[in-house]
Amino acid sequence: MTFILGLTGGIGSGKSAASTWFETQGITVVDADIVAREVVEKGQATLQQIHTAFGDWVLLENGELNRRALREHIFKDPNARQILEQITHPAIRQSIIHQLQSATSPYVILVSPLLFETNQHKLTHHTLLIDATEELQIQRASQRDGQSIEQIHKIIQAQMPRQQKQQLADDIVLNDGHLEHLYHHLKALHQRYLKC
Ligand code: ADP
């Protein structure tokens, strides 16, 4: 069975930078955020279930999901969030499992910002946390997305606290230097993972 590495970290920690590096080494990366978007694409059964559960307002005129309206709705109503997650989480999980099993690289990575929060780490054999101080997270994420500091702060608050993730992760790379420094640490880990 192919070794599955779970890769996580808070917003702006450097998960995508790390994933991209692993991809350059020929490792297949399954991105939980991308899967979450794929399962609600037009024509997918999951989108039909959301439509049935919430009504016509969840669809745009072109039949695609009105993400903004849905986001605002579940933000106001925790019960609605639960209903949505009961529909989406099993579909996301199934698709992740399928994509992990289809990978042909020496090992495979599942990258997810909410790896521990959503129990996706249970789909993996080993976990790697890309860690950064909150200050760096805010600096990097605001430069990348142009989001306000308050918005990023809110996202950080909604994620599992850094210390808790440090306790749960099998490996930790502190991404507090240049990208070359990050790659240097990843290279050593990659050599180990190749032997798993
Ligand atoms: P995440 O996927 O965890 O949200 P990213 O990998 O997208 O984070 O990193 C956030 C931003 O910071 C990106 O623009 C990325 O290029 C940059 N970045 C990540 N790590 C470093 C680093 N060590 N030095 C400089 N910039 C970095």
Share of the chain above pLDDT 70, in %: 100
Coil, strand, or helix at residue 47? helix
Hey, how many other C-beta atoms are within 10 angstroms of the C-beta on 130? 27
Are 1-27+107-196 and 35-104 equal in CATH topology? yes
Q: How many CA atoms lie within 13 A of 6 on its CB side?
A: 24
Quick: pLDDT tens for 155-187.
999 999 999 999 999 999 999 999 999 999 999
> How far, in Å, from the CA of 49 to the mean position of ligand 1?
35
Is residue 178 in contact with ligand 1, taking CB distance under 6 Å?
Answer: yes
Domain ranges of the chain: 1-27+107-196, 35-104
Q: Which residues are bridge partners to 194 per DSSP?
A: none
Q: Does domain 1-27+107-196 have CATH number 2.60.320.10?
A: no
CATH architecture entry for 35-104: 3-Layer(aba) Sandwich (3.40)
- Identify the pLDDT of residue 26: 98
pLDDT digits (tens, 9 = 90+) for 107-164: 999 999 999 999 999 999 999 999 999 999 999 999 998 889 999 999 999 999 999 9
Nearest-atom number in ligand 1 for the CA of 141 is 10
Q: Is residue 27 a contact partner of residue 194, using CB atoms and an 8 Å limit?
A: no
The C-alpha angle 103, 18, 163, rounded to 5 degrees, equals 110
How many whole angstroms from 113 Cα to the centroid of ligand 1?
13
> Up-side HSE of residue 105: CA atoms within 13 Å toward CB?
20
Q: Which atom of ligand 1 is nearest to the CA of 18?
A: 6
User: Is residue 1 over pLDDT 90?
Assistant: no
Closest residue CA from atom 16 of ligand 1 = 17
